[in-house]
Amino acid sequence: GSNSQLEDTAPRIVEHPTDVLVSKGEPATLSCKAEGRPPPVVEWYKDGERVETDREDPRSHRTLLPGGSLFFLRILHGRRGKPDEGVYVCVARNYLGEATSRNASLQVAGE
């Protein structure tokens, strides 16, 4: 056997998101970086629900960055609630398994 053959590996999170406090209308980024072979697909969940990004909905204000981080063009905050506030986790998957990041809370600063 030759050493050039790299083995497939299950995902692991190498950069976890951290709690963020954002003013409404400001941009924000939740960091996440995962490694694995083949490169894992990253999804985000907020309070247990999958977060839709502009890949699924072109009008979404949330973008999944190439490295796996979640970028908010602006934090939404209205009289009816704070739709972006919550606890986020990043999940990286490939065919060998999945890895889940630590929880990160996103909070919108008071008026």
Q: For position 55, which CATH number holds?
A: 2.60.40.10
Q: 69 is in which domain, residue-wise?
A: 9-108
pLDDT score at 5? 73
Of 15, 19, 42, give the one whose Cα is nearest residue 31. Answer: 15
What pLDDT score was predicted for residue 91?
Answer: 98
- Distance in angstroms (rounded) separating the CA atoms of residues 105 and 111: 19
Query: What distance lies between CA 89 and its chain's CA centroid?
Result: 6
Select the more confidently predicted residue: 40 or 56.
40
Q: Label each residue of 24-89 as H, E or C.
A: CCCCEEECCEEEEECCCEEEEEECCEECCCCCCCCCCCEEECCCCCEEECCCCCECCECCCCEEEE
The reply to whether 2 falls in a domain is: no
In the predicted structure, residue 2 carries a pLDDT above the cut 60: no
Tell me the pLDDT of the chain averaged across its residues.
Answer: 93
Task: Note whether residue 4 is domain-resident.
Answer: no
Domain membership flag for residue 3: no
pLDDT mean over 67-85: 91
User: Given this model, what pLDDT does residue 15 score?
Assistant: 98
Q: How many structural domains compose the chain?
A: 1
Task: Tell me the pLDDT tens digit for each residue of 5-50.
Answer: 789 999 999 999 999 999 989 999 999 999 999 999 999 999 999 9
Examine residue 69 and state whether it is found in any structural domain, yes or no: yes
What pLDDT does 111 receive?
63
pTM of the shown model: 0.89
